[in-house]
Structure 1
Amino acid sequence: MTSTPAAGSVTRADLADAVHREIGLSRTESADLVEQVLDRISEELVAGNNVKISSFGSFVLRDKGLRVGRNPKTGVEVPIEPRTVLTFRPSQLLREAINRG
């Protein structure tokens, strides 16, 4: 799968095109399949569940507590409200593939 060199990222359309080329589904079916997979991942994350994709990595939700931050311009301290953040942890296989280049 390749993306536009200037863009530097892969889009939904790129993923759908790759499914179309690799599997042979129609372009519409390929786009629908990509949307279904992304929707399912999103639904699980919104429900508070981590998502693990074998040999790829894990999307992990983490709670951050209340903390004090500082406005860099004024130096005034401001409270940063508790929130949930999403992180991605690549699998060992993906890490190794990236490091091989």
Structure 2
Amino acid sequence: MTLTKADLIQEVYKKHDLSKAQATAVVENFLGIAKHSLQEGEDLLLSGFGKFSVKQKNSRRGRNPQTGEELMLAPRRVITFKPSGLLRHRVNGGE
């Protein structure tokens, strides 16, 4: 099962005294702030949840798995996630 953006909106709508449009705006605004932060290379720390970080990957040699042809992979930025100790504990069955 996957939690979707629509599911998040529904949960915000149900748990808070907001209209469906307000709940949608809250979720969309949060996601927009998070996206902008990561695009700017800033880390995103959500206490009790985890930390999203932007890492720089250097160019490296690779190969096309279909043809075996060697090629150079361009440098790029990747997003990593490290869960908080609390989240890790809860995922593993702790309370």
TM-score by length of 2: 0.93
Give 1:97's aligned residue.
Answer: 90
Residue identity opposite 1:58 in structure 2: K
Q: What aligned pairs does 1:1-101 form with structure 2 within 5 A after superposition?
A: 8-100=1-93
Q: State the shift of 1:84 in Å.
A: 0.2
Please list every run of 5 or more consecutive structure 2 residues that lacks an aligned counterpart in the other structure: none
Please list every run of 5 or more consecutive structure 1 residues that lacks an aligned counterpart in the other structure: 1-7
For residues 27 and 72 of structure 1, what CA distance do their matches in structure 2 show? 47
User: How many residues align structurally?
Assistant: 94
Q: Percent of counterpart pairs with the same letter? A: 39
For residues 71 and 12 of structure 1, what CA distance do their matches in structure 2 show? 35
What do residues 18-56 of structure 1 show as CA deviations (whole Å, max 9, x unaligned)? 011111211110010000000000111111101000000
For residues 66 and 24 of structure 2, what CA distance do their matches in structure 1 show? 45
Please give the root-mean-square deviation of Cα atoms over the aligned residues, in Å: 1.1
